[in-house]
Structure 1
Amino acid sequence: MLYFLLFIFLIAVFIMGMSILRAGLFQLSGERFKKLLERVTNSPFKAMLTSIFVTALLHSSSAVMVITIGLISAGMLTFPRSIGIILGTNIGTTFTTEIITFNINQYLVPMAVIGAILMVFQNVKFRSSGFILFGMSAVFIAIQGFEFLSTPLTELPIVENILLMLNRSHLLSIVFGAILTALIQSSTAMTGITMGFLSGGILNLDSGIAIMLGSNIGTCITGYLASIGSGKESKLCAYAHIWLNVVGVLIFIPFVDWMSSMAQNVAKSPDVQLAHTSLLFNVISSLVVLPFSEQFGKWIMFVHGRGKK
């Protein structure tokens, strides 16, 4: 029971760290990002590149989706011009999963201490830098905790049974990843947890990849919730995000075992293998849709209807 409570605590630490990190980055340049998104959406390709950049810096596709939906709701952006942004968020968020595979354990305590000190400064740049350092250290500490707890957690019968089921079924792993991600509202946190179990050797890589695919569906819940009460075009943006990820996952399900084999040939560490696979999936999904972004937008409007509230 103690290990399970510690696991819940680490999830909270991870999400808190991501929130603090994102807050620091947004304080430094959040308004610039909003204006940038407003200016570059005349071209789906430019919008996608800008969205990749903004999402990578903010370390959150959900944050960029909420900003985009807010811009649409405020009349500063139209749904058709948001398609490129949606495609870019899926790619940009994979930079975070790549970063958390780095080994910076020896710097975590100094980062946390320096960050905590800077957070009390009145100067915005110093305080924001403190948020970034402290948040990043919390994220990495949580990742290490997930890896440490992976083995003792399997001693709990319920966890052992869940892992056994996930290792036997890709579909179940996808559903599990989608539901848990929707509950904690962070695909990065879900991927971080999965990396911990992979590094502990108690979860198969193919199951980890399936969970990652599911997390791409589960993360859509944040954008959908943000669109409630924000107008019909905001809802279309949320629907486009959902369709993009759901269809992408359905197409990739038959290739889970192939992606697992491919990942093991390009990296030795299972957490890095998962990060690379996440990047591959999201890049392919977005680039395939990019040339047809206009048609994709029209299809969303046809399915969900411009006149619907």
Structure 2
Amino acid sequence: MDRLISAFFIYIMIFLFGMTVMKIGFRAMGDEKIRTIIQKSTSSPLKGLLIGTLLTAILQSSSAVTVITVGLAAAGLIRFSNTIGVIIGANIGTTFTGLLATFSLGRIHIVLILIGFLLLFTRKSAIFCLGTFLIGLGCLFLSMDGFNTLSIPLRELAPVKYILTAANHSLWMALTSGALFTAIIQSSSATTMIAMGFLNNGFLTLLASITIVIGANVGTCVTAILASIGSNWQARWVSYTHLVFNIGGALLALPFLKLSAGWLESLHLAPDTALAYSGILFNAVSALLFLPFIDKYGRWVEKRAKGAR
């Protein structure tokens, strides 16, 4: 059992390592450039949403984009109302990791990692970034393969069997499991990969898997909250808004999850593909529902904060 659990956490570390290498590569082009892009591209909620989605899809980390946004707000370089679209867009951008993981490329992940490693020895930043991207992509496919393989023996462990059974029979248990696990490992994408592994082998229903992924959206808010500790009101409210938006989206989605899961099953998609599409659909619909209220909410918070001071 110890070896099995160790292997499980090794695959989590491989995934997180790959995402970190990919993030480092793109950020090697300059955090300042990313900050400038966010500052200049958030004059409206829609622009903020689009830039948040794009940057997160590139950096493969909603936490990184959210933390940068918190930092800009803390430094007074961006208005609070202009940050909301970015953090909502970050939720959409992070779903592309799950979509990438659904592509079946056999053992090509080893080739991707080797080519990426060789490209790191160049002095050209664009080629270096390509190398980090290939390493990250290779690690993503390697960890996904590992989660699929380990899901069968892990299913036999009593605690895992209990959690899977409870998640399959209770949406609240699935939601809580996704949130807590993500808060601990600080990666909603890793939680999604693990859910995909159990789903592909029939140990989780599509409904339970979707609910776990929605819970992961809530758990990932912990990163922004930690980053805002000791900062000014703007930074704190960015993290609060991130949490409120994700909890609100989860609560609004719960009554419609059975219907959504049934519709996706009727399309006869591969289980992991259906789960990836559900993440994109949930975050896109949540964003569109909240988008019309962003300006009013932002002005309300700014007015309230000024009154408090």
TM-score under structure 1 length normalisation: 0.95
Equivalent residues of 1:28, 1:124 under 8 A apart: yes
Provide the rounded CA distance (Å) in 2 between the counterparts of 1:78 and 1:166.
40
Deviates more, 1:209-218 or 1:292-301: 292-301
Give the structure 1 partner of residue 219 of structure 2: 218
Provide the rounded CA distance (Å) in 2 between the counterparts of 1:79 and 1:91.
20
SS of structure 2 residue aligned to 1:81: helix
Give the gaps of 5 or more residues in structure 2.
none
SS of structure 1 residue aligned to 2:28: helix
Deviates more, 1:291-300 or 1:109-118: 291-300
Provide the rounded CA distance (Å) in 2 between the counterparts of 1:241 and 1:267.
34
Displacement of 1:266 after TM fit?
Answer: 3.1
Q: Given the superposition, is the C-alpha separation of residues 294 and 162 from structure 1 closer, same or farther in structure 2, using an over 3 Å criterion? A: same
Equivalent residues of 2:18, 2:135 under 8 A apart: yes
Give the structure 2 partner of residue 154 of structure 1: 155
Displacement of 1:193 after TM fit?
Answer: 0.7
Equivalent residues of 1:239, 1:300 under 8 A apart: no
Provide the rounded CA distance (Å) in 1 between the counterparts of 2:267 and 2:92.
19
Equivalent residues of 2:41, 2:47 under 8 A apart: yes
Provide the rounded CA distance (Å) in 1 between the counterparts of 2:291 and 2:276.
22
Give the structure 1 partner of residue 204 of structure 2: 203
Provide the rounded CA distance (Å) in 2 between the counterparts of 1:98 and 1:123.
29
1:84-125 CA-partner distances (Å, limit 9, x unpaired): 112211111112211111112242111111111222334433
Q: What percentage of aligned pairs have identical amino acids? A: 38
Q: Given the superposition, is the C-alpha separation of residues 239 and 306 from structure 1 closer, same or farther in structure 2, using an over 3 Å criterion? A: farther
- The yes-or-no answer on 1:266 pairing with 2:270 is no
Deviates more, 1:40-49 or 1:183-192: 40-49
- The yes-or-no answer on 1:94 pairing with 2:95 is yes
Give the structure 1 partner of residue 293 of structure 2: 292
Give the structure 2 partner of residue 163 of structure 1: 164
Give the structure 2 partner of residue 278 of structure 1: 279
Provide the rounded CA distance (Å) in 1 between the counterparts of 2:277 and 2:127.
33
Provide the rounded CA distance (Å) in 1 between the counterparts of 2:130 and 2:255.
44
Deviates more, 1:136-145 or 1:96-105: 96-105
Displacement of 1:170 after TM fit?
Answer: 0.6
Provide the rounded CA distance (Å) in 2 between the counterparts of 1:307 and 1:14.
45
SS of structure 2 residue aligned to 1:180: helix
SS of structure 1 residue aligned to 2:76: coil
Q: Given the superposition, is the C-alpha separation of residues 306 and 199 from structure 1 closer, same or farther in structure 2, using an over 3 Å criterion? A: farther
Displacement of 1:263 after TM fit?
Answer: 1.4
Provide the rounded CA distance (Å) in 2 between the counterparts of 1:60 and 1:276.
18
Provide the rounded CA distance (Å) in 2 between the counterparts of 1:29 and 1:220.
25
Displacement of 1:30 after TM fit?
Answer: 4.1
Give the structure 1 partner of residue 58 of structure 2: 57
Q: Which amino acid aligns with 1:246?
A: I
Provide the rounded CA distance (Å) in 2 between the counterparts of 1:302 and 1:213.
31
Provide the rounded CA distance (Å) in 2 between the counterparts of 1:306 and 1:218.
30
Equivalent residues of 1:190, 1:215 under 8 A apart: yes
Q: Which amino acid aligns with 1:35?
A: T
1:170-216 CA-partner distances (Å, limit 9, x unpaired): 10110010000000111111101101110111111111011011001
Give the structure 2 partner of residue 27 of structure 1: 28
Give the structure 1 partner of residue 42 of structure 2: 41
Q: Which amino acid aligns with 2:247?
A: V
The alignment yields a C-alpha RMSD, in angstroms, of 1.7
Equivalent residues of 1:17, 1:135 under 8 A apart: yes
SS of structure 1 residue aligned to 2:102: coil
Equivalent residues of 1:233, 1:306 under 8 A apart: no
Q: Which amino acid aligns with 2:278?
A: T
Provide the rounded CA distance (Å) in 1 between the counterparts of 2:88 and 2:258.
25
Equivalent residues of 2:80, 2:302 under 8 A apart: no
Give the structure 2 partner of residue 68 of structure 1: 69
- Runs of 4+ aligned residues of structure 1 deviating over 6 Å after TM superposition are none
Provide the rounded CA distance (Å) in 2 between the counterparts of 1:272 and 1:302.
44
Equivalent residues of 1:148, 1:200 under 8 A apart: no
Q: Which amino acid aligns with 1:252?
A: A
Deviates more, 1:88-97 or 1:214-223: 88-97
Equivalent residues of 1:240, 1:297 under 8 A apart: no
Equivalent residues of 1:38, 1:76 under 8 A apart: yes
- The yes-or-no answer on 1:249 pairing with 2:250 is yes
